[in-house]
């Protein structure tokens, strides 16, 4: 294998490592214990590869060519260090770009969440209800968060013993729903707790609705063109 080919292979490995550094949610905590820093181990392995490649270059090439390659490795190492130092900013930029070009993808920024309008003209999103991931659609005409039976079951609600006492209007006509309180609703980086919601009767609702009992908890929300911007209280 030529030195030039080895250089290109190692540069490809570096690009993959930089992608991992940006995508990794550094400092994640599970049950109070810090997760193993896989990326840190990867960086150490990459540095060992750098050193080995540099030594190989010094042994096989003339000094001028070796110096040129060494400068390339230094530049790559600096790029890697800068990427690691600004991983949070790079991750935020990547989320914003993906939100712009992928409808319905969340773009969280601290306590602000942006959602791009989907192809059907609505704001579809993935929320977590009591830690269960559920697809929802923003509905400012709904006075409450309204869930299907499947979503309620996924969120751990006792659908078998619900009492349907609240009249609601759906696409299928007027029906009744059961009032419940969700432990939490999470949308991007926004978390609201003890949120009132309604569970529709079986077969009466096809889409989970993110209504005003959630939106009224926010500091503000607005539609800017094709973007929904939600801001939580500090």
Domain 102-231 of CATH type 2.40.70.10: yes
Does the model's pTM come out above 0.85? no
pLDDT for res 169? 83
Check if the beta carbon of residue 179 is closer than 8 Å to that of residue 166.
yes
pLDDT for res 36? 46
Mean pLDDT score, 51-73: 61
Between residues 25 and 180, the one the model is more confident about: 180
Q: What angle do CA 138, 206, 143 make, to 5 degrees?
A: 40
pLDDT for res 57? 59
Backbone angles phi, psi at 120, to 5 degrees: -90, 5
- Which residue from 180, 172, 225, 223 is spatially nearest to 198, judged by alpha carbons? 180
pLDDT for res 174? 84
Q: Where are the domains of the chain?
A: 3-85, 102-231
Q: How far apart are the first and last CA of the chain?
A: 57
Between residues 150 and 50, the one the model is more confident about: 150
Provide the H-helix boundaries in 61-132: 63-85, 87-101
pLDDT for res 33? 39
- H or E element, residue 221: strand 220-224
* pLDDT of residue 151 exceeding 60: yes
- Confidence label for 153 from pLDDT (cuts 50, 70 and 90): very high
Alpha-carbon gap, residue 83 to 222, rounded angstroms: 34
Mean pLDDT score, 6-27: 59
Q: Measuring CA to CA, how many Å separate 81 from each of 2, 14, 41? A: 27, 11, 14
- Which residue from 130, 137, 168 is spatially nearest to 152, judged by alpha carbons? 130
* pLDDT of residue 168 exceeding 60: yes
Q: Measuring CA to CA, how many Å separate 173 from each of 144, 169, 176? A: 17, 6, 10
Check if the beta carbon of residue 140 is closer than 8 Å to that of residue 215.
yes
User: Among the ranges 42-46, 54-58, 70-74, 103-107, which has the highest mean pLDDT value?
Assistant: 70-74
3-state secondary structure of 208: strand
- Confidence label for 34 from pLDDT (cuts 50, 70 and 90): very low
* pLDDT of residue 122 exceeding 80: yes
pLDDT digits 0-9 by tens, 70-96: 667 766 776 776 666 655 555 555 555
- Which residue from 47, 72, 43, 46 is spatially nearest to 57, judged by alpha carbons? 72
Mean pLDDT score, 53-82: 63
């Amino acid at each position: 294998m030529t030195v030039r080919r080895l250089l290109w292979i190692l540069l490809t490995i570096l690009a993959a490592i930089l992608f991992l550094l940006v995508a990794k949610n550094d400092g994640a905590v599970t049950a109070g214990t810090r997760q193993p820093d896989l990326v840190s181990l990867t960086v150490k392995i990459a540095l060992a590869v750098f050193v080995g490649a540099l030594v190989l270059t010094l042994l096989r090439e003339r000094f001028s060519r070796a110096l040129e390659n060494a400068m390339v490795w230094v530049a790559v190492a600096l790029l890697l260090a800068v990427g690691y130092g600004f991983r949070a900013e790079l991750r935020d930029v990547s989320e914003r770009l993906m939100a712009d070009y992928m409808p319905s993808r969340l773009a969280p920024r601290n306590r602000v969440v942006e959602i791009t309008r989907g192809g059907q003209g609505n704001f579809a999103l993935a929320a977590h209800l009591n830690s269960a991931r559920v697809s929802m659609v923003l509905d400012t005409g709904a006075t409450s968060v309204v869930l299907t039976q499947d979503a309620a079951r996924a969120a751990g609600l006792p659908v078998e013993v619900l009492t349907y006492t609240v009249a609601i209007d759906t696409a299928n006509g007027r029906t009744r729903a059961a009032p419940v309180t969700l432990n939490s609703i999470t949308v991007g980086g926004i978390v609201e707790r003890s949120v009132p919601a309604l569970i529709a009767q079986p077969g009466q609702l096809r889409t989970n609705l993110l209504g005003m009992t959630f939106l009224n908890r926010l500091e503000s929300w607005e539609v800017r063109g094709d973007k929904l911007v939600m801001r939580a209280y500090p």
